Structure 1
Amino acid sequence: MPKGTTKRRPRTRAALLRAALAAFAEHGFQATTIEQVCARAGYTRGAFYSNFSSKEELFLALFDEHSEQTVRRLTALVDAIPADDLTVERLVEQVCRVEPDERDWYLVTTEFTLHAIRDPQAAWVLAQHDARLRAELARGLTTHLGRAGLALTVDADDLARLLIALREGGLAQSYVEPDRLPPGALERRFLPRILAAVTERRPPGDG
């Protein structure tokens, strides 16, 4: 492969991902065509197929990118809390933040989830990506609660599932009634109580 092509490939891929997110949010995953994504990105179908084999693979690449960005952002926010100020309330304050552009991602991922529910193969593939995200969240929960002197009394993966359900269910209601339920409001109200119910204070010196 020519050296110039190798250097351009990451830029091409990034442009296609940005274009796909915008197109999926505007038209929906099912209605968006590969041609529309290419037109938005300014590339040909050949450029698309040199990076992705299908529209489903393109979505999953978006999913992984978004997941990695979310985990990095949350980790940076929580790591910035001084050790002597790390409480459940401070943790909740950080993880309940909802960025303005989260609405577009919510629209895209919700529609793809419905697609996956109807398509067993898509469901299986999405479940693998979901599992990797939950594993990262479970590790983060265990680590940062430990820093706060707390230990989980439930399975970390199960708790990650519950917190994702709370997040996604809360956002669904917030985007329908933003004036009555601002994004993140349900988590701020109930997450401290949930974490109090599923943790216990670690004995001093318990590593």
Structure 2
Amino acid sequence: MAQLRDPLSRQDRQQQTREALIVAARGVFSEDGYHGASLDRIAREAGFSKGAVYSNFSGKPSLFLAVMDQNLELAKADVRDPFEQPANPASTGRDLAAREGYPLEATQGFALATLEFIASAARDTKLAPQLHHRLSTVLSHYSEIAQMARPDDETLPASDVGKLLAALDQGAGLILLAGDVLPDPAVFYAGMRRLIDPARAASEGRTGG
């Protein structure tokens, strides 16, 4: 009797295992922090042995970077012109912190774990270049937003405006983590608009557009 063949290739199964580990890792890092998270728990949450982690990642830093990369991919899909945002978004300041679609507590938890990782990786000669590469990707994301709505007479390069947008957005996130306080969403988006096109932002503010 002929045996049924597994429709999934070895590569497909490995990819599924990798994705499951990344999902589990995000949850564990969010709950336990970067330093507190254990690979044993991550593997257990994903339904695998610890060996499966080392079959796909070189260690905890590599796994954390993979989670960061997944978050960056989600952010790329959410590039929007701030001038297309409603004047009075229905979302709250808390919703702003959970734009990726995860619960607020998980989003805050992973943000705190990211701060731990940055503090550690920035001092590591092997990890620092990989961290800088992710930072460049983040800045490119904001530069794309700046390029999308920049006025014809703008003299600042889109990359510089992108850095200012990153400072506003990431700074707001740090304030949320430290004190659970964010500006009203309408004010937040007004700030982004003023950085990208001050004249248009002021004009639309006067007309209520």
* Number of matched pairs: 185
**Structure 2 CA distance, aligned partners of 1:167 and 1:140?**
12
Greater alpha carbon shift after TM alignment, 189-198 vs 124-133: 189-198
Matched, 1:119 2:124: yes
Runs (5+) with no aligned partner, structure 2: 1-5, 99-103, 201-209
Give the match's secondary structure for 1:120. coil
Equivalent residue number for residue 130 of structure 1: 135
**Structure 1 CA distance, aligned partners of 2:49 and 2:197?**
53
Q: 1:10 to 1:33 in 2, by over 3 A?
A: same
Q: Report the Cα offset of residue 92 of structure 1.
A: 10
Q: 1:29 to 1:184 in 2, by over 3 A?
A: farther
Question: How is 1:1-207 mapped onto 2 (pairs within 5 angstroms)?
Answer: 4-75=9-80, 78=81, 87=83, 90=86, 97-99=96-98, 100=104, 101-142=106-147, 144-145=148-149, 150=152, 152-178=154-180, 180-181=181-182, 187-197=188-198
Does the CA-based 8 Å contact 1:153-1:198 persist in structure 2?
Answer: no
Per-residue CA deviation, residues 10-66 of structure 1 (Å, 9 max, x unaligned), is: 221111111111111111112222212111111112211221112111111111110
Per-residue CA deviation, residues 52-99 of structure 1 (Å, 9 max, x unaligned), is: 112111111111110111120234xx5xxxxxxx837659969x9432
Runs (5+) with no aligned partner, structure 1: 79-85, 200-207
Per-residue CA deviation, residues 84-132 of structure 1 (Å, 9 max, x unaligned), is: xx837659969x9432353233122222111123323322210012112
Q: Report the Cα offset of residue 176 of structure 1.
A: 3.4
Give the match's secondary structure for 2:58. coil
**Structure 2 CA distance, aligned partners of 1:91 and 1:158?**
25
**Structure 2 CA distance, aligned partners of 1:44 and 1:22?**
17
Q: Report the Cα offset of residue 187 of structure 1.
A: 2.7
Q: 1:135 to 1:93 in 2, by over 3 A?
A: farther
**Structure 1 CA distance, aligned partners of 2:78 and 2:160?**
22
**Structure 2 CA distance, aligned partners of 1:173 and 1:189?**
18
**Structure 1 CA distance, aligned partners of 2:97 and 2:88?**
12
**Structure 2 CA distance, aligned partners of 1:6 and 1:106?**
31
Q: 1:89 to 1:12 in 2, by over 3 A?
A: closer
Give the TM-score normalised by structure 2. 0.72
Equivalent residue number for residue 205 of structure 1: none
Give the match's secondary structure for 1:137. helix
Q: Report the Cα offset of residue 152 of structure 1.
A: 3.9
Does the CA-based 8 Å contact 1:145-1:151 persist in structure 2?
Answer: no
Give the match's secondary structure for 1:73. coil
Identity of aligned residues (%): 26
**Structure 2 CA distance, aligned partners of 1:74 and 1:63?**
17
